[in-house]
C-alpha cells in the first residue's frame, strides 16, 4: 500500500458493503489508513461491529458500522442517510456484499439447476445484482448534490465464463453488471460521478479459491484487488468511467481452465 500513501482520502467518506470479511474488510482498513471516514455495512451485525471496532481503535471517530441486508431498499436508503449525517458526504461506494448462491446458502452441488429451488436464484439476483443497484441508487442522490463521487460495482470472472450451478451469480456478475455500470456512468458523467466495475478472478479471501486456475499459476492476494479499488477511487483515475476491469491473472484468456 506504500505507493498509495500520496492518495490521501482525508475528509472523504467511503462506504463498503460486505464489510464483515474479505475484500470489503481489507478495503475498510486500507481506506481508513489513508485518512478516509469508512462506513462498514454488512448483514452480519456481530461480525461487522467487531471488525469496525478494531479499525476504530486506530482511527477514532472515523468508522461507522451499519447492519443492512442489501435486498432491503428502505434499509439501504437509511444507510446512505446515516453515512451522510455522520460524515457530511458520500464520496466512494464499494459494492462488495454477495457471493455464489450454492456456497452462500449451503446448497448441495448434487442439485442440478432445474432441481434447485427457485428461491435460491431469487436470493442470488437480489443480493448480487439488485443489492448493487439499490446502493448505487441511494448514494447517487448525495453524489449528484455534491457533484462528485465514485461508484465501484463488482462483477466476477464467473460472469464472463458462466457456471452450470451458480446461474444466478453468473447472471448477476456478467453483462447485467456491465449494463448497470455503463448506464450509471452515462448518467453520472454530467454530475461529476464516475462509475466502474471490477471483475475479479480467484481471490484468496478463502483458501478454496486457490483451486481456480489462472495462467499466472495462482489466485490473487486480496490486497491486489484493494489496490485497484484505491486507484480507481482516487483522482489518479479521474478520466476512467463506464468500464469493466477484469483482474483475473489472465484466466479469461486462458486456453486451459481445468
Q: Among residues 188 and 200, whose Cβ is nearest to ligand NAD?
A: 200
Contact between 197 and 178 under an 8 Å Cβ cutoff? The reply is yes
- Residue 66 is a binding residue for ligand NAD (CB under 6 A): no
Q: Is 174 in the site for ligand NAD (CB under 6 A)?
A: no
Among this protein's residues, is 169 annotated catalytic? Answer: yes
Inter-residue contact 79 to 72 (CB < 8 Å): no
Nearer CB in complex with ligand NAD: 7/247 = 247
* Between 192 and 208, CB nearer to ligand NAD: 208
Residues 35-54 that bind ligand NAD (CB under 6 A): 42-44
Whole-number minimum distance, CB 253 to ligand NAD, in Å? 17
Among 52, 94, 97, 228, binds ligand NAD (CB under 6 A): 97
Q: Minimum Å distance from CB 177 to ligand NAD?
A: 10
Decide: is 70 part of the binding site for ligand NAD (CB under 6 A): yes
By CB under 6 A, the residues from 107 to 136 that bind ligand NAD are 127
Distance of closest approach, residue 18 Cβ to ligand NAD, in angstroms: 3
**Annotated catalytic residue within 73, 102, 169, 187:** 169
- Closer residue to ligand NAD (CB): 86 or 212: 212
- Give the number of other CB atoms < 10 A from CB of residue 147: 10
Exactly one of 15, 22, 166, 195 binds ligand NAD (CB under 6 A); which one?
22
Q: Compute the distance between CA of residue 49 and CA of residue 68 in angstroms, rounded to an integer.
A: 12
SS (H, E, C) the chain: CHHHCCCCCCCCEEEEECCCCHHHHHHHHHHHHCCCEEEEEECCHHHHHHHHHHHHHHCCCCEEEEECCCCCHHHHHHHHHHHHHHHCCCCEEEECCCCCHHHHCCCCCCCCHHHCCHHHHHHHHHHHHHHHHHHHHHHHHHHHHHCCEEEEEECCHHHHHCCCCCHHHHHHCCHHHHHHHHHHHHHHHCCCEEEEEEEECCECCCHHHHHCCCCCCCCECHHHHHHHHHHHHCHHHCCCCCCEEEECCCHHHCCCCC
Helix axes 22-33, 45-58, angle to 10 degrees: 20
69 lies in the site for ligand NAD, by CB under 6 A? yes
Binding test (CB under 6 A) with ligand NAD, winner from 202, 233, 234, 251 = 202
Assess 71 for contact with ligand NAD (CB under 6 A). Answer: yes
From 16-24, 105-113, 178-186, 230-238, span contacting ligand NAD (CB under 6 A): 16-24
Among 14, 15, 20, 93, binds ligand NAD (CB under 6 A): 20
Active-site residues, by number, are 169
User: In the complex, which residues of this chain contact ligand NAD (CB under 6 A)?
Assistant: 17-18, 20-23, 42-44, 68-71, 96-99, 127, 154, 156, 200, 202-203, 205, 209
Amino acid at each position: 500500500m506504500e505507493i498509495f500513501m500520496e492518495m490521501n482520502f482525508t475528509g472523504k467518506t467511503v462506504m463498503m458493503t460486505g464489510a464483515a470479511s474479505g475484500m470489503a474488510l481489507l478495503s475498510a482498513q486500507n481506506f481508513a489508513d489513508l485518512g478516509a471516514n469508512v462506513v462498514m455495512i454488512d448483514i452480519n451485525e456481530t461480525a461487522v461491529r467487531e471488525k469496525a471496532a478494531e479499525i476504530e481503535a486506530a482511527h477514532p471517530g472515523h468508522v461507522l458500522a451499519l447492519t443492512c441486508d442489501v435486498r432491503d431498499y428502505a434499509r439501504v436508503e437509511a444507510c446512505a442517510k446515516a453515512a451522510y449525517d455522520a460524515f457530511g458526504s458520500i464520496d466512494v461506494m464499494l459494492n462488495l456484499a454477495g457471493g455464489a448462491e450454492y456456497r452462500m446458502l449451503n446448497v448441495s452441488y448434487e442439485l442440478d439447476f432445474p432441481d434447485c429451488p427457485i428461491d435460491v436464484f431469487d436470493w442470488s439476483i437480489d443480493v448480487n445484482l439488485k443489492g448493487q443497484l439499490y446502493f448505487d441508487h441511494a448514494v447517487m442522490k448525495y453524489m449528484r448534490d455534491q457533484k462528485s463521487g465514485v461508484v465501484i460495482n463488482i462483477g466476477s470472472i464467473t460472469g464472463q465464463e458462466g457456471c452450470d450451478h451458480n446461474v444466478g451469480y453468473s447472471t448477476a456478475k456478467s453483462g447485467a453488471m456491465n449494463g448497470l455500470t455503463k448506464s450509471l456512468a452515462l448518467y453520472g458523467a454530467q454530475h461529476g460521478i464516475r462509475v466502474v466495475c471490477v471483475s475479479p478472478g480467484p481471490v484468496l479471501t478463502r483458501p478454496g479459491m486457490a483451486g481456480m486456475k489462472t495462467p499466472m499459476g495462482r489466485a490473487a492476494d486480496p490486497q491486489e484487488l484493494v489496490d485497484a479499488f484505491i486507484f480507481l477511487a482516487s483522482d489518479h483515475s479521474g478520466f476512467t468511467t463506464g468500464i469493466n476491469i477484469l483482474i483475473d491473472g489472465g484466466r479469461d484468456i486462458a486456453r486451459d481452465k481445468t
